[in-house]
């Protein structure tokens, strides 16, 4: 499933009870998210898109756009094989 920035913005808005968050809004400073809110957003995205977001990568997330980019990266990682076949 294709992950779109607008969908991530909507998910953030729904979890935080905010109207129309923008991609460059900072989750904590601009939108008032606490760590549990960010966790709920991550779980929502994981369930919606069937992805698994690495918790250690969350340290670099501060904006909605950062979260989107991490979700896209996680979706691509799920598609790519970890050990590509080697030619015989």
Residue 22, domain CATH: 1.10.1200.10
Q: Which domain holds residue 22?
A: 5-79
Which pLDDT does position 76 carry in this prediction?
81
CB burial of 49-87 (b: ≥16 within 10 Å; e: otherwise) equals: bebebeeeeeeebebbbbbbbbbbebbeeeeeeeeeeee
Question: Furthest-apart CA pair in the chain: how many Å?
Answer: 56
Q: Is residue 21 part of a domain?
A: yes
Average pLDDT, the chain: 89
List of E strands, the chain: none
Residue 35, both tokens: 């760590």
pTM of the model: 0.84
Residue 19 lies in a domain: yes
Q: Is the pLDDT of residue 84 over 60?
A: no
Q: Does the residue 58 lie in any domain? A: yes
pLDDT of 81 strictly over 60: no
What are φ and ψ of residue 63, in 5° steps? -115, 170
The pLDDT tens digits for 71-80 are 999 888 766 5
Is the residue at 52 inside a domain? yes
């Amino acid at each position: 499933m294709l992950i779109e920035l607008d969908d991530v913005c909507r998910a953030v808005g729904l979890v935080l009870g905010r109207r129309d968050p923008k991609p460059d809004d900072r989750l904590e400073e601009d939108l008032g998210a606490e760590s549990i809110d960010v966790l709920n957003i991550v779980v929502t995205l994981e369930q919606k898109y069937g992805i698994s977001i690495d918790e250690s990568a969350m340290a670099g997330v501060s904006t909605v756009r950062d979260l989107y980019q991490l979700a896209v990266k996680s979706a691509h990682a799920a598609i790519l094989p970890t050990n590509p076949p080697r030619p015989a």
